[in-house]
Amino acid sequence: MSILLEVNKVVKQYGDYVALNEVSLSVPKGSIYGLLGPNGAGKTSLIRIINQITFPDRGEIILDGEKLQPKHVQYIGYLPEERGLYTSMKVGEQCLYLAQMKGLSKAEAKKQLDYWFDRLGIQGWWNKKIQELSKGMAQKIQFVVCVLHKPKLLIFDEPFSGFDPVNANVIKEEILALKEQGATIIFSTHRMESVEELCDDIALIHKSNKLLEGKLVDVKRQFKTNSYEVGILSDNVEGLMYDITQKFTVGPANFKSLNKELKLEIQLGTALPNELLHVLTQRGQVTHFVEKIPTVNDIFIQSVSGK
Amino acid sequence: MSIISLIIKREFIAKVRNKSFIVMTFLSPLLFVGIAAFVGYLSSMKAETKQIAIHDESGLFVKDFIAENNKKGEYKYLDLTLVNTQVLKDSITSEGYEGLLLIPKTTNRADFESNIQFISNSSPSISFIEKVQNVIGNKITNINLVQAQLDTLAIKKAQSVVNIKLAKASGEQSVKGLNEIKIAIGGGFGYLIMMFIIIYGNMVMRSVIEEKTNRIIEIIISSVKPFQLMIGKIIGTSLAGILQFVIWAVIGLSLMFAASLFFGVNVGPTAKLPPELMHQAQQEFASTAQTYIKELWNLPIANILLGFIVYFIGGYFLYSSFYAAIGAAVDNQTDSQQFLLPIIMPLMLSVYVGFFSVMNDPHGTIAVVFSMIPLTSPIVMLMRIPFGVPLWQIAISVTLLFATFFAVVWFAAKIYRVGILMYGKKPTWRELYKWLKY
């Protein structure tokens, strides 16, 4: 798969503080790319550099095969975390203004606005002022402004904050639809469940450095510990435990089930699952046998606290 | 449409549509004319005549004072020489006299010079005291002349009144009082620039702060360069300001015109004169007026207007860049105070220098120096231009102004670029300096 955005050894310093230390990323075309990291890791600095709001001290950025340059702002749609609109301006005028700034003609902007207002069911808002809208409603307008000019690259910084679950879902569907239409999406958030749900690729930035990057499945494979969650109904628990601990490392597990079985987390090491199953089936009834896949949350916490 | 013109258009429309802008635009001239009319009404009311009691034991002066009564001045003199001095002193309050002039009887006239008293509960105006001194002094001089057996008429004839004609080396005639007109014109334009900078510079600052507090700034500068946004904002706001000034001028002039038609206000010194004098006065007035008008046309009008435009643009952009940078650095308007002081100071200074130094000596060292310093030159130089400033001085001043202007815009743009993305903290001067290096 080809690369849409390539960040190459980017360094950004604010005075003595290094915000980005030789960070390199490759964002594949047509993917949803999760940019993760704790607060103050340098995510926003990086996003601002991609948007040409600030400029890197060293390193370069390649967008669609070209070195990043001012004309590229019209290929990028940006929904910043700190976002707002002119409160005393009317919705329609404001959207037209912001769309024209992205290089759309007035007629084209109007056409796109009609399409999006219709799609999100907000046609009646054209002449309202932003101050008359609720926060969630204003967020919808911001979303429209961000995607209006059909950008190749969309950058969403905490897109779901401020939305109720219904509207958050609407926005999620729209993001997926945009991906279907070929857009590439960089997605920065602290909400790991939405990363799990949406992202194809992730990168983790911590303390100005990139810790890891790759396809979500590859990263998970890299982080898996070859351990299994097991539920077993057994009359002879002591015998069972004895058998297992001979070969494997065992710990307690916690998962939901309907039976009152023994719940274990078993580390296989180099052994194969069948070897474990063989031991288990001799000692009782296996009700639960699942490979433990690390969640993005686990990976996040493990990487950040490990280093 | 280019990005900057798009921004200018939005800023202009946002300013002009603002309710307070509309209210200010149409209310201010009404208020101004209203105050002017009120002041005019107050001053047209006949002043209360003040009664002055005169106790002249010498009997030499009282007639001259009574004669003054015919001139219909503010003061009415009463001859109360027959009344006891102590009684008069006591009755100042009860009879409502403004004051009591006590002239003692002396054998030696030189004693009058130091023995005359004016007793009053309120402090008399300087002009009134001078008037009284003149009347008495003239009388004594006259008596002295007569006693010395000098021919007063011959002396009067021998006296000469000199009226120096002012002219330039180029042969142009000049009129006295023209300097006042020149300072008024220069001062008017200078003052206009200062007002404009303070009102609309502040507006620029508010609009930058608004974008910060609304959190729209990051959305906007992902599409445009901060520099474009800043310049667009300054130009858009100034256009709104110019529109406001034009509306004020139009409304003000038409209201003045309407008022003068309605009240039939008479202009000039002809108002209170008896008809036989009126004709003469009118002629005199007309001829002086003609000279003045001629002189006004002889002023370097082209230079003044050109200077106004150049210094207006230079000064306004210089200062509003400062305002924009401050707006970017702070989170709300209360935080801006500490940074505003250094901006207001040079503005005030230039107006003071303008009115004191330039009026005194338009080509003195102070005036020349301050008309070169970029922060004060827009106002001080404008005040000097009506007096005729050598071209090389204007050239240096304008060059310095625009060089500083570009430097400041560069500096302000840097602060602006960093500041608009800094939320939630009040920066110090040191931090602003650090931002320059980001």
Q: Are B89 and B119 spatial neighbours (Cβ–Cβ below 8 Å)? A: yes
B50-157 has which fold?
A: D-Maltodextrin-Binding Protein; domain 2 (3.40.190)
> Can you state the angle between helices B377-384 and B337-353, rounded to 10 degrees?
10
pLDDT value at residue B267 = 46
Q: How far is A204 from chain B (nearest CA, A)?
A: 24
Contact B423 A88 (CB under 8 A): no
Of the partner residues A83, A85, A101, the one whose CB lies closest to the CB of residue B223? A101
Q: Which residues pair with A265 in a beta bridge?
A: A229, A251
Which residues make Cβ contacts (< 8 Å) with residue A107, sequence separation at least 6?
none
Measured CA to CA, the distance from residue A77 to residue B219 in angstroms comes to 9
Measured CA to CA, the distance from residue B29 to residue B248 in angstroms comes to 6
pLDDT value at residue B176 = 58
Q: How far is A306 from chain B (nearest CA, A)?
A: 31
CA neighbours within 13 Å on the CB side: how many for B436?
10
Contact B219 A78 (CB under 8 A): yes
pLDDT value at residue A162 = 78
Q: How far is A64 from chain B (nearest CA, A)?
A: 18
Measured CA to CA, the distance from residue B420 to residue B327 in angstroms comes to 8
pLDDT at A278 over 70: yes
Q: How far is B323 from chain A (nearest CA, A)?
A: 20
Measured CA to CA, the distance from residue B380 to residue B291 in angstroms comes to 27
Residue A300: exposed, middle, or buried by beta-carbon count in 10 A (0-12, 13-18, 19+)? buried
pLDDT value at residue B236 = 92
- Which of B21, B206, B219 to mutate to test binding with chain A, by most A CBs within 10 Å of its CB? B219
- SS in 3 state form for B327-381? HHHCCCHHHHHHHHHHHHHHHHHHHHHHHHHHHHCCCCHHHHHHCCCCCCHHHHH
Residues from A contacting B (CB-CB < 8 Å) are: 14-15, 48, 51-54, 70, 73-74, 76, 78, 80, 82-89, 97-98, 100-102, 142, 145-146
Measured CA to CA, the distance from residue B329 to residue B436 in angstroms comes to 12
Q: Measuring CA to CA, how many Å separate B85 from each of A289, B53, B64?
A: 127, 11, 20
Contact A78 B222 (CB under 8 A): yes
Give the residue among B192, B197, B194 at the shortest CA–CA distance from B316: B197
Q: Is the dihedral of CA A85, A90, A96, A97 positive or negative?
A: negative
Measured CA to CA, the distance from residue B425 to residue B438 in angstroms comes to 17
Which residues make Cβ contacts (< 8 Å) with residue B326, sequence separation at least 6?
B205, B336, B339, B340, B343
Measured CA to CA, the distance from residue A184 to residue A192 in angstroms comes to 19
The average pLDDT across A230-252 equals 84
User: Which residue of chain B has the CA closest to A87?
Assistant: B214
Better-scored residue on pLDDT, B49 or A37: A37
Q: What is the pTM of this model?
A: 0.73
Contacts of B219 in chain A (CB under 8 A): 78, 80, 83-85, 98, 142, 145-146
Which residues make Cβ contacts (< 8 Å) with residue A32, sequence separation at least 6?
A175, A179, A185, A187, A198, A199, A200, A201
The average pLDDT across A263-279 equals 85
Of the partner residues B1, B215, B225, the one whose CB lies closest to the CB of residue A84? B215
Q: How far is A46 from chain B (nearest CA, A)?
A: 13
Q: Which residues belong to CATH 3.40.190.10 in chain B? A: 50-157
User: Mean pLDDT for each 10-residue chunk of chain B (438 residues)?
Assistant: 86 87 83 83 74 83 80 78 80 79 79 80 81 85 84 81 67 60 80 87 88 85 86 90 86 76 53 57 64 68 82 88 86 81 87 80 84 87 83 89 86 81 71 72
Percent of residues, chain A, with pLDDT higher than 90: 19
Of the partner residues B10, B225, B421, the one whose CB lies closest to the CB of residue A97? B10
The CA-CA-CA angle for residues B421, A67, B412, to 5°, reads: 30
Contacts of A51 in chain B (CB under 8 A): 222
Contacts of A54 in chain B (CB under 8 A): 417, 421, 438
User: Which residue of chain B has the CA closest to A105?
Assistant: B1
> Can you state the angle between helices B19-44 and B226-263, rounded to 10 degrees?
30
Q: Measuring CA to CA, how many Å separate B365 from each of B315, B368, B383, B393, B401?
A: 22, 5, 15, 12, 19
Q: What are phi and psi of A201, to 5 degrees?
A: -125, 155
The average pLDDT across A279-305 equals 86
Of the partner residues A87, A100, A102, the one whose CB lies closest to the CB of residue B1? A100
Domains located in chain A, CATH noted = 3-221 (3.40.50.300), 225-291 (3.30.70)
The CA-CA-CA angle for residues B409, B412, B416, to 5°, reads: 130
pLDDT value at residue B271 = 46
Contact A142 B219 (CB under 8 A): yes
Contact B222 A15 (CB under 8 A): no
Better-scored residue on pLDDT, A62 or B175: A62
- Which of B15, B218, B428 to mutate to test binding with chain A, by most A CBs within 10 Å of its CB? B218
pLDDT at A154 over 90: yes
Of the partner residues A51, A80, A101, the one whose CB lies closest to the CB of residue B3? A101
Contacts of B214 in chain A (CB under 8 A): 84-87
Q: Is ipTM over 0.95?
A: no
Measured CA to CA, the distance from residue B216 to residue B220 in angstroms comes to 6
Measured CA to CA, the distance from residue B56 to residue B105 in angstroms comes to 8
pLDDT digits (tens, 9 = 90+) for A165-188: 888 888 899 999 999 998 999 999
Residue A187 in tokens? 């997605």
Confidence of residue A97 (pLDDT cuts 50, 70, 90): very high
Measured CA to CA, the distance from residue A257 to residue A230 in angstroms comes to 11
